[in-house]
């Protein structure tokens, strides 16, 4: 099973149970509160500040940061239309 097959399955469970943080603000908040286990970042995120804002705290907290092929695909997985990353 490759990463693009496994990630939607991993995202589905916290989405159903309300444990999925979506968007930059929710993601940063979850990382800082030590509630994040995984942070998925879109490959086509063109804001380097957003990438730094997510990756630096994730590195400090030992949170894995896999990449999704696109923001549109990540949005479909998370149940939103447009998003660059998410945390659960």
Q: Contact, 26 vs 14, CB < 8 A?
A: no
Segment 7-60, tens digit of pLDDT: 888 887 776 666 788 888 888 888 889 988 889 999 998 888 888 888 999 999
Residue ranges making up the domain that contains 67? 3-87
Say how many domains are in the chain.
Answer: 1
pLDDT at position 85 is 58
Classify burial at 11, counting beta carbons within 10 Å of its beta carbon; exposed 0-12, middle 13-18, buried 19 or more: buried
pLDDT at position 84 is 54
Mean pLDDT of the chain: 82
pLDDT at position 60 is 93
Taking 70 as the threshold, does the pLDDT of residue 88 lie above it? no
CATH number at residue 77: 3.30.1330.30
Q: Contact, 15 vs 21, CB < 8 A?
A: no
Q: Output the pTM of the full model.
A: 0.77
Segment 45-75, tens digit of pLDDT: 888 888 888 899 999 999 999 998 888 888 8
């Amino acid at each position: 099973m490759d990463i693009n097959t496994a990630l939607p399955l991993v995202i589905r469970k916290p989405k159903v149970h309300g444990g999925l943080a979506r968007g930059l603000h929710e993601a940063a908040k979850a990382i800082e509160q030590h509630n994040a286990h995984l942070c998925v970042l879109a490959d086509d995120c063109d804001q380097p500040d957003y990438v730094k804002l997510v990756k630096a705290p994730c590195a400090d907290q030992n949170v894995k940061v896999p990449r999704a092929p696109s923001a549109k695909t990540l949005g479909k997985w998370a149940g939103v239309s447009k998003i660059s990353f998410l945390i659960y």
